[in-house]
Amino acid sequence: MAAQGENADHQHPSQECDLIMRGGITSGVVFPKAITRLATRYRFVNVGGTSAGSIAAIMAAAAEYRRASGGADKGFAAIDGMAGDLARNLRSLFQPWPATRSLFIIAMSVIASGGRLGPFFAGVIRAYWLSALIASLPGLALIARAIGQVNSWAGLFGLLLLLLIPAAALGVRLWNGVTKVLPAQDYGLCSGFNPHKDDVPAFTNWIADKLDEVSGRNPADPGYTPLTTGDLESKGIKVASVTTDLSSGRPYQLPLGTGIFSFRRSEFEKLFPPQVVDHLVRAGGRLEVKGKLYVDAQKNSDYYRLPVGRDFPVLLVARLSLSFPVLISAVPLYRFDYTVRPGVLVRCLFSDGGITSNFPIHFFDSILPGRPTFGISLGSVDRRNPSATRVVLPRLARDGSATAAHAIHGLANFGSAILTTARNWQDNLQSRLHGYRERIVEIRLDDEKEGGLNLDMDEAVIQQLADLGDEAGNKVLVEFQFPEHRWRRAVTALPTLGAALERLGQVWGDGYRDLLLNYAPTSLKVSPGERRRLVEFADQLAVIGLELANKPLPRASNQRAIVRVVASIDTIDDP
């Protein structure tokens, strides 16, 4: 389905845009055709996303890199074929560690049944059938003896043993798996990587191979290196994502902008293809502390600096963001914790970016945009309104302003609502602001059988989701109006900025001028010339603020937004 007034030609886009995509595990199958549809008109300058959205982001950036390198539409053609590839291979991409195979069987039983207890117990028995069989032998033996002696009490006792001993054995195996085996695999059932070249690839293998295909690189070529963020930057392209450092209790923006992290080659070889590990080792170099090679207590010296800047592999942008808790193992990195003197090297676990920001629509933002930043979001089909459209792009100012409310039923639903709200409330509120929501197209999925943790979607379902992505991209091309977006952004953002300046004007005369000129600070010192420059700048802002206090800017809506100093997720830790 071609967009109105469009040719499905990716060689000569007439405009530029940025793009953000929401995380959603298998829901990411909606993104490929949305990307290729948008690419017929737009050149992607900045592309970002979280979790599954980060995979789509690096693919879009790689295709744009190939287009900018003279590869015409070949990269986007490869992306367009990803939906069919996923339809054939989706389930096989999620391969458990050998040690977590039994837990994986149980998890898939629970997911397939929607969390019902019956399939859970059946999955436990199927996963640990040998333990259950061995544990049932005493009860079976006693029952057989009771039958031979016609002893009903012995038979009843044997039946009791037949129930209790296998149940206890299964409980012990399950408890051991959850408390010992899973943590040993960094809290993930799947590593994402299959080290055996001739076997069916896992999703990290698949992403790496697809990234080479889309960007036009061949690992067999002499001098091959994996695609890096520096390669993208050389063509004016930026990719960004989010990861969550659970050990430090904070998110980081990807690619990492701080050189404080290191990795162990022996651990990364279990998570990434050899060509990527070799690149990291070459670019990062061995970890040294005060000019000496770092060696741990076991005399192990396979620690290397994680390269940043231009040498950061694009594959790591996706994998560090794609560590859905329990399903996919976290990625271990190391950094020195200088809150302990003289500093101790800590193993930090990096997990899913969606824990802290599943839809970073604020990426690439500015008060007055020079080009659109489109968002592709994921929602759920509302069963109270089954006939509603599944692809939504708000057009009028009132569209998309209402917030749906759903009743809470049961403890599981209550807990799920708590986690979902804690993770997504800020992204959701941000997405509903004027200047945001009219550029975010939402694709609504049937959570029971589409996307999310539904690893067993058949080809028909996956193709349907891919078509929804194509419809979403087409809707943006047909319905989005950049002048209208700029108008809404201006008439809502400028009064918000004005309110902040008004407050500055009110407090600036309360000693701040003298403070900046004469105070003797104990830290964060600046030169006298820099002090005067700060004062001149603030004087100008204060004049504007005082004028606004007497003549406020007009407001076009009653939405509430604030301008304040907040920590950015790309904040670099000071060692």
Which residues are catalytically annotated? 51, 352
SS3 letters for 320-388?
HHCCCCEEECCEEEEEEECCCCCCEEEEEEEECHHHCCCCCCCCCCCCCCCCCEEEEEEEECCCCCCCC
Q: Is 73 helix (H, G, I), strand (E, B) or coil?
A: coil
Q: Would you say 194 and 172 are in contact if contact means Cβ atoms under 8 Å apart?
A: no
Question: How many CA within 13 A on the CB side of residue 135?
Answer: 20
Residue linked to tokens 């057989």: 144
Rounded to the nearest angstrom, the gap between the alpha carbon of residue 195 and the centroid of all alpha carbons in its chain is 24
Largest interatomic CA distance in the chain: 103
Q: Would you say 227 and 211 are in contact if contact means Cβ atoms under 8 Å apart?
A: yes
Quick check: bond before 342 cis, omega within 30? yes
Q: Which of 268, 263, 305, 302 is nearest to 284 (CA)?
A: 305
Task: Tally Cβ neighbours within 10 Å of residue 520.
Answer: 5
10 Å CB burial of residue 59 (0-12, 13-18, 19+) is buried
Token pair of 37, please?
Answer: 């549809």
Task: Annotate 74-120 with DSSP letters as a single string.
Answer: HHHHHHHTHHHHHHHHHHHH--B-GGGHHHHHHHHHHHHHTS-HHHH
**Whole-angstrom Cα distance, residue 48 to residue 547?**
39
**Whole-angstrom Cα distance, residue 46 to residue 61?**
8
Quick check: bond before 255 cis, omega within 30? yes
Q: Which of 123, 337, 141 is nearest to 245 (CA)?
A: 337
